[in-house]
Amino acid sequence: MTNAIDMQAVTRRFGESTALDAVDVTVPEGSICGLLGRNGAGKTTMMSIIAGQDRPSSGRVEVLGQEPFENESVLAMLSFVRDNQRYPDDYRLHHVLRIAPDFAPHWSEEVAAELVDGFRIPARTPIKKFSRGQLSSVAIVLGLASRAPVTLLDEPYLGLDVTARALFHDMLLRDYAAHPRTIVLSTHLVQESEALFDRVVILDGGTVRVSSEAEDVRDLAFTLSGATDVVQGLTARSTVLSTHTVAGLMSATVWGALDDESRTTARDLGARVAPASLHELVAAIGEHRPEPADLALHEKKGVRA
Amino acid sequence: MFTEDAPIFQQLAARIADDILAGVHPEESPVPSATDLAVFHQINPATASKGVNVLVDLGALYKKRGIGVFVATGARELLRTNRRAEFRREYVAPLVREARALDIDRATLRQMIDDEESSQQ
């Protein structure tokens, strides 16, 4: 399978701060990839670089086999609507819908019309007066109706009501099935969106902590809960990402797999072991301050891929 | 909808199998396409295909090229046989474990099963 997106050792510095640090990420063509991590993890910076709106300080980026920065042939294949996209002051919905096809050669009027109707986007209100949810709706219309081979959706759910989120998922999957493309979607609503993904990238503090097939994420970490001394004893030599304690009870989210011996011990001592769910993993990674030794360990296990 | 206990494709396969056993999809009738299943359950289409393929590999479903996926003749019996093999692990083992945790002795447990059986008749 060829890669729609290929980032090798991509670093982006803004003055003193490093927004992305030696990021290696590949997204195969036709994939729906979840881009996850805390605020400030580097998700939007990464999308801007993929979209050719920003340039890495060092490293190499290829989108559909070419460098995206100031590259017209790539930009025609790409759709990226920022979560804080601005529109000209006097713009209403019809202005946006009129010019959007100029930038999207695969534009679908039908998709746009169905979404505008389903989201109930007001036609006469100036866009600058739109609510957060209405702005998200416009961004989703632009993202999906463009049918771009590489579609980047940055926090598409902000302010969307539950009906609108279901409509978004429905249209995304239907149109993706009919017109396969590569989709990267960043979100904090991990539980609600995780079933959409076949790939997952988790960023933290500008570094890639997980880049994996969605299905394999279950094997990356586990949670162990039970009496505090039991949990501490069993995880003494492991990389513990996060712990929660109340009165003698502890729950720990731990990298890697639990060996059979520890699993048996855990059961005999009344502790519970379960694969960490994606949202537990994202939350735990966001809490964890990695030691350099931890990162090396994950690299060996292929977690950082 | 789906739980976190098992990968989604396995849960989807189990759900289609349930529907076949319950007669929702009779033998030699079509099942929904992977795309329809993906949209219906709001899951990744590749995950949905994988779920369908679990049952294709098992021989409970078969693909007609360009037409769709159908329930194989004998699928119900096949799935029943498979489920029987899982029955001890999935149902009997936890039952015995829980009974032990609650100090329910063997005779009482048997009596409970007998009573439950008669009450469901």
Is A183's pLDDT higher than 70?
A: yes
Compute the nearest-CA separation of A90 from chain B (Å). Answer: 37
Mark whether A144 and A262 lie in a shared domain.
Answer: no
Residue A185 sits in the same domain as residue A228: no
* Domain boundary pick from A216, A245, A272: A216
Both A248 and A175 in a single domain?
A: no
Q: Which helix (H) or strand (E) holds B102?
A: none
CA A281 – CA A201 distance, rounded (Å): 12
For residue A296, the model assigns a pLDDT of 44
Same domain, A210 and A174: yes
Q: Widest CA span of chain A, in angstroms?
A: 68
Do residues A269 and A230 lie in contact, with contact meaning Cβ atoms separated by under 8 Å?
yes
What was the pLDDT predicted at A304? 43
Phi, psi of A73 (to 5 degrees): -70, -30
Q: Indicate the pairing of strand A32-36 with strand A182-186.
A: parallel
pLDDT digit string, tens, across residues A240-288: 999 999 989 999 999 998 888 888 889 889 899 999 999 999 999 998 7
CA dihedral B55, B58, B59, B60 (to 10 degrees): -40
Most B-contacting residue of A215, A222, A253 (CB-CB within 10 A), to test interface: A215
A275/B contact by beta carbon, under 8 A: yes
Q: Are residues A54 and A136 in the same domain?
A: yes
Query: What one-character-per-residue DSSP string does chain A give?
Result: --EEEEEEEEEEEETTEEEEEEEEEEEETT-EEEEE--TTSSHHHHHHHHTTSS--SEEEEEETTB--TT-HHHHTTEEEE-TT----TT--HHHHHHHHHHH-TT--HHHHHHHHHHHT--SSS-GGG--HHHHHHHHHHHHHHTT-SEEEEESTTTT--HHHHHHHHHHHHHHHHHS--EEEEE-S-HHHHGGG-SEEEEEETTEEEEEEEGGGGGGTEEEEEEEHHHHHHHTTTS-EEEEEEETTEEEEEEES---HHHHHHHHHTT-EEEEPPHHHHHHHHHH----HHHHHHHHHHTTT-
For residues A119 and A205, membership in a common domain is answered with yes
CA–CA separation, A211 vs A239, rounded Å?
Answer: 18
Using CB atoms, pick whichever of A177, A195, A274 lies closest to residue B8: A195
Q: B44, A277: Cβ pair inside 8 Å?
A: no
CA distance A234 to A2: 42
CATH number (domain holding residue A136): 3.40.50.300
Burial class (CB in 10 A: 0-12, 13-18, 19+), A304: middle
Angle between helices B75-87 and B8-21 (to 10 degrees): 120
Residue A279 belongs to what domain range? 220-304
Q: Which amino acid is at A224?
A: L
What chain B residue is nearest to A278 in terms of C-alpha separation? B4
Regarding whether A148 and A209 lie in a shared domain, the answer is yes
Average pLDDT of A195-204? 96
Q: Are A199 and A84 part of one and the same domain?
A: yes
Q: Which stretches of chain B sit within 8 Å of chain A by CB?
A: 2, 4, 7-9, 35, 38-39, 41-47
Cβ–Cβ below 8 Å for B7 and A215: yes
pLDDT at A294: 52
Q: Select from B4, B7, B39 the Cβ nearest to the Cβ of A173.
A: B39
Average pLDDT over residues A232-242: 90
pLDDT, mean of residues B79-101: 91
| Inter-chain Cβ pairs, chain A and chain B, closer than 8 A | 42
pTM: 0.87
The model's confidence at residue A305, banded by pLDDT at 50, 70 and 90, is: very low
Same domain, A181 and A245: no
How confident is the model over A35-46, as pLDDT tens digits? 999 999 999 999
Residues of B with Cβ-Cβ distance to A198 under 8 angstroms: 44, 46-47
CATH number for the domain including A271? 3.30.70
C-alpha A149/C-alpha A164 separation (Å) is 24
User: Is any Cβ of chain B less than 8 angstroms from the Cβ of A279?
Assistant: no
Last residue of a domain, one of A181, A216, A251: A216
Instruction: Inform me whether the C-beta atom of residue A119 falls under 8 Å from chain B C-beta atoms.
Output: no
Mean pLDDT of B14-22: 95
Interchain CB distance below 8 Å, A195 and B9 = no
Chain A neighbors of B41, CB-CB under 8 A:
195
pLDDT per residue over A101-113, tens digit each? 999 999 999 999 9
**What's the pLDDT at A259?**
83
User: Which domain-ending residue is among A200, A216, A232?
Assistant: A216
| Same domain for A248 and A207 | no
- Is the distance from CB of A208 to CB of A24 less than 8 angstroms? yes
- Measure the CA–CA gap between B90 and A67, rounded to whole angstroms: 52
Any B CB within 8 A of A157 CB = no
Cβ neighbours of B42 in A, within 8 Å: 166, 169-170, 173, 195-196
* Counted domains in chain A: 2
Domain co-membership, A164 together with A299: no
Contacts of A169 in chain B (CB under 8 A): 42
Both tokens of B28, joined, read 């030699």
Q: Which of A81, A10, A22, A14 is nearest to A49 (CA)?
A: A10
Are residues A195 and A229 part of one domain? no
Min Cα distance A126 → chain B (Å) is 33
The CB density around residue A195, as the number of other CB atoms within 10 Å, is: 20
C-alpha closest to that of B72 among B25, B35, B14: B25
Query: The complex's ipTM?
Result: 0.81
For chain A, positions 187-206, list CB contacts with chain B under 8 A: 195-198
Is the CB of A28 inside 8 Å of chain B's CB atoms? no
